Amino acid sequence: MTIQEKLDKLFLRVEKPARYIGGELHTIKKDPFGVSTRFGFAFPDTYEIGMSYLGLQIIYHLLNKLDYVYCERVFAPALDMDGFMKVEGIPLFTLETKSPVQEMDILGFTLQYELSFSNVIHMLELGDIPLRSKDRDHSYPFIAAGGPCAYNPEPLADVMDFFMIGDGEELLIEVCEAHKNWKVSGRGKDAFLEDISQIKGVYVPKFYQPVYSEDGTIKEIQKLSDRAPDLVEKRIIEDLDQADFPENTIVPFIEVVHDRAVAEIFRGCTRGCRFCQAGMIYRPVRERSKEKIKEIATNQLHSTGHEELSILSLSTSDYSEIEPLVEELMSVCKDNNVSLSLPSLRLDSFSFKVLQEIQGYKKSGLTFAPEAGTQRLRNVINKSITDEDIYGAVEKAIELGWNNIKLYFMMGLPTETYEDLDGIAEIAKNITDINYKVTGKRGGRFNVTISISNFVPKAHTPFQWVPQDTVESFREKHRYLKEKLKSIKGVSFQYHDTDPSQMEAVFARGDRRVCNALIKAVELGCKFDGWREHFKYDLWKRAFQETGIDPDFYTYRERNLDEVLPWDLIDAGISKEFLISENKKATEGIQTQDCRKGCVGCGINRKVTCSREGTL
Amino acid sequence: MSRYVIKFSKEGYIKFISHLDMLRLFKRSFKRAGIKLQYSQGFNPHPKMSFAQPLSLGYTSSCEYLEFETMESHSTEEIRRLLESMMPEGVEIIKCEELAAEGKALAALTEEASYEIRIPVKDITKLKNPSTLAEDYLSRESITIKKLQKKSRKEIEINIRPMIKSLKSIVDNNNIMLNARLSAGSTENLSPEILLSTFCKFADIDYDRADIQLNRTGIYFIDEFIKI
């Protein structure tokens, strides 16, 4: 039986078979044997999650525009399918042609969150592909990775043949072009890696070798190839209006997490929150023009028939022409009978006007992200929202009829004390008081949700040196806050599990050695770690024990500012001096202004023209 | 306002798309085609569009019906052509007909549906009287099944024999091919799954559901409904 025949039978046994069939609107059909580069775009999670990721749509369409490339999609099969595939001997396959991933020339993973690393390993296993780069000869595809987690590539350095750092629009095309040329040249695998190591943004781990000190820290990173660059600079698309953006996005048959048309309005963020990796690595801020956004939105709605339009960025309200943009998009939506969804809107009077109009009587919840319970701690993390901002907006919201308020906080932030937790409870209490003041009622349908995530220090941020809070401390803090909030009527409390946050921390700042634990954990059965019901902490603990790796070294250890960090050879554009200065200002509780108000000297202007440069 | 019905087939991988996902597919396709559907009034307006009968996931069909109301009037051939160009592989729009504006919904008019069922059999020679299986199965006065009542949670016995309008079986190599016409619709409905399980039990056929192919071959309506 061929894969196809076996699959036909399997599809009747599994849940949501449409996850695996392909053939959706705007998918591309090509003759796989008529191209020089078969590129498997792998998303290490289920179809519904992967298909909600805009990057996939961008890359899929820009690669398939090249006549010599065929880009096909690969997702992690859900557990039921996974089990059947093993029993039936069906290797991991692409959706477009149901080809085994082994037949790809390049299999590229997108790394969106650290807890998907186990799925990367597991998917290679399912594809019958040796896990380590050194064990793969010329008969296997090149295995590559990109995305935000590639900014600390080291935990997967032994697995990947190469990483692509930064914006992918130009970089991927250059890599595929190099592949096409290499293929006709008939040279060996290493020759290709050497070729692409010359492309800005490509990191080939085998050309570098970390040397460790006795205390386990990195002494130096040795370069093993003369041609490899000393530092790998991230790629930056300077003009978003010129960048490829798909209008014929793939429309899934089944409902996925984000089932809608979407236009990216800008990349980067000017706010400079010190915990936020995205805010650092996606600099500088680059806006797409209002006209271009409108054009994309209109064309995408026409070509897909979607019922909802959304815009994407790190902070919607910071778009310089947000009011005219939203008004124009509202009219586009009205014309097309679709709804508009505006994520991460700052709640000022304009937003309320808009929300009133687009949500009407169907009011969704309102969300705030103060991140910390006191002004002191918000100064430390450089989050500019104040209590007054929150209370003012909440009062207005309640007056307009909203009765669901959700607040996001982080726990375990540097310098956090129990007073900061009291601050969270106080905010919750004050909000219920505001509701009483406005409506004259307590309880009822009014609800405040306090949602807590656990702080994970990330590479390339001012907090890249700080220790993570311990598991015990997190547990005690959760318990403390839960107790405090229990006595306030109408307040519910949610928090993330502690153990996955610890694993996330190991891989966010891990070096090459943690890879052994990762591979071991997958061997023991870890996968889908980002899914609460699938995360198996006991297996992770065993994996660390059996490989002799101490997770505490990566999580709880405070690094010296002059320590060589595993990701030091990745140049994310911002200067280390800036990160150090931000780190010091954090300790002193001094805020740094939003760089829309004036340049703060992050160093990105050394790489590209930054619209904030020279402003004061 | 105009009211139409289209007849379409569903074959190949698209059979793994559920009923609700098919509805969403058509909703988007009308939008892309620029055919404006009439929307219902009220708090949650939805387009006036419905299938004559839902089709289970995994079934192919050579005759599905979708009725809908549009804001403007169109030629039936224009609708057929436009929708056909919007369909994924496996869906073919066979026909489009205009309906009387004030008629009953097709779902309410549906009376029977026919199916072709292919059952692979490991050793056909082990079956008793393979050529007369259908007649033997039907020759009983009653064929009862146990069913859990939704509301009372009580188990009741149902005789499905009257709901089987016709049944023929033929042996084709290592397969038993069933052609069945069953009650369908809101008053009386028999799922082909029940026919399949009772038949296989009667004939003593050991089967794996994933090996069985089911194709809907017809939907039949009360009265002299326009034959499309």
Tell me, what DSSP letter sits at residue A70?
E
Report the residue from B14, B32, B211 with minimal CB separation from A9: B211
Mean pLDDT lowest among A8-17, A82-91, A439-448: A439-448
In the structure encoding, which two tokens stand for residue A517, read together? 């634990």
* CB contact A251 to B (< 8 Å): yes
Give CA A365 to chain center in angstroms: 24
pLDDT of residue A488: 92
Q: Which of B14, B24, B36 to mutate to test the interface with A (most CBs of A within 10 A)?
A: B24
Residue A164: how many other CB atoms lie within 10 Å = 27
Give φ, ψ of B192 to 5 degrees: -60, -20
Closest CA relative to residue A411, chosen from A439, A374, A372: A372
Tokens 């309102």, located at residue: A366
CB contact at 8 A, B79 and B14: no
Asked whether the beta carbons of residue B31 and residue A254 sit closer than 8 angstroms, the reply is no
Report the residue from A13, A25, A304 with minimal CB separation from B88: A25
Q: How far is B209 from chain A (nearest CA, A)?
A: 8
**Mean of pLDDT values over A358-367:** 77
Mean pLDDT lowest among A370-379, A522-531, A586-595, B219-228: B219-228
pLDDT in tens, A50-107: 999 999 999 999 999 999 999 999 999 999 999 999 999 999 999 999 999 999 999 9
Architecture of the CATH domain A260-355+574-616: 2-Layer Sandwich (3.30)
pLDDT in tens, A103-137: 999 999 999 999 999 999 999 999 999 999 999 99
Q: Which residues in chain A are classed under CATH 3.30.750.210? A: 260-355+574-616
Q: Which of 123-182 (B) contact A at CB < 8 A? A: none
**Mean of pLDDT values over A366-381:** 95
- Judging contacts by C-beta atoms under 8 Å, the chain A residues touching residue B210 are 9-10, 12-13
**Residue A39 pairs with which residues in a beta bridge?**
A71, A106
* CB contact A357 to B (< 8 Å): no
Asked whether the beta carbons of residue B32 and residue A302 sit closer than 8 angstroms, the reply is yes
Q: Which of A1, A4, A8, A24 to mutate to test the interface with B (most CBs of B within 10 A)?
A: A8
Does the pLDDT at position B226 exceed 60? no
Sort strands A447-454 and A491-495 into parallel, antiparallel or unpaired.
parallel
Does the pLDDT at position A361 exceed 90? no
pLDDT of residue B41: 85
**Mean of pLDDT values over A371-375:** 97
Tokens 């600390």, located at residue: A152
Domain coordinates of chain B in residue numbers? 2-103, 110-221
* CB contact B31 to A (< 8 Å): yes
Q: Which of 269-328 (A) contact B at CB < 8 A? A: 302-307
pTM of the model: 0.95
Confidence of residue B227 (pLDDT cuts 50, 70, 90): low
- Coarse DSSP helix, strand, coil percentages of chain B, rounded to the nearest 5 percent: 30, 35, 35
**Cα(B56)–Cα(B19) distance, rounded to whole angstroms?**
7
pLDDT of residue A337: 84
Max CA separation in chain B (angstroms): 61
pLDDT in tens, B87-135: 999 999 999 999 988 888 999 999 999 999 999 998 888 888 888 899 9
Measured N-to-C along each axis, helices A471-486 and A498-508 cross at an angle, to the nearest 10 degrees, of: 140
The answer as to CATH 1.10.3470 being correct for domain B110-221 is: no
Q: Which residues in chain A are classed under CATH 3.40.50.280? A: 3-233
Q: What is the ipTM of this complex?
A: 0.92
Does the pLDDT at position A320 exceed 80? yes
Does the pLDDT at position A6 exceed 90? no
Is cis: bond before A284, omega within 30 of 0? yes
Q: In whole numbers, what is the pLDDT of chain A averaged over residues?
A: 95
Closest residue, chain A, to B59 (C-alpha): A12
pLDDT in tens, A252-295: 999 999 999 999 999 999 999 999 999 999 999 999 999 999 99
**Mean of pLDDT values over A210-227:** 97
Does the pLDDT at position A616 exceed 70? no
Asked whether the beta carbons of residue A12 and residue B31 sit closer than 8 angstroms, the reply is no
Asked whether the beta carbons of residue B89 and residue A23 sit closer than 8 angstroms, the reply is yes
**Cα(A573)–Cα(A589) distance, rounded to whole angstroms?**
25
Closest residue, chain B, to A298 (C-alpha): B32
CB contact at 8 A, B34 and B72: no
In the structure encoding, which two tokens stand for residue A397, read together? 């919201």
With helix as H, strand as E and coil as C, how does A478-515 read? HHHHHHHHHCCCCEEEEECCHHHHHHHHHHHCCCCCHH
Architecture of the CATH domain B2-103: 2-Layer Sandwich (3.30)
- Tell me which CATH code domain A3-233 carries: 3.40.50.280
Element at A56 (helix H, strand E): helix A54-64
**Mean of pLDDT values over A537-541:** 97
Which residues have C-beta within 8 Å of that of residue B126, sequence separation ≥ 6? Answer: none
**Cα(A549)–Cα(B167) distance, rounded to whole angstroms?**
67
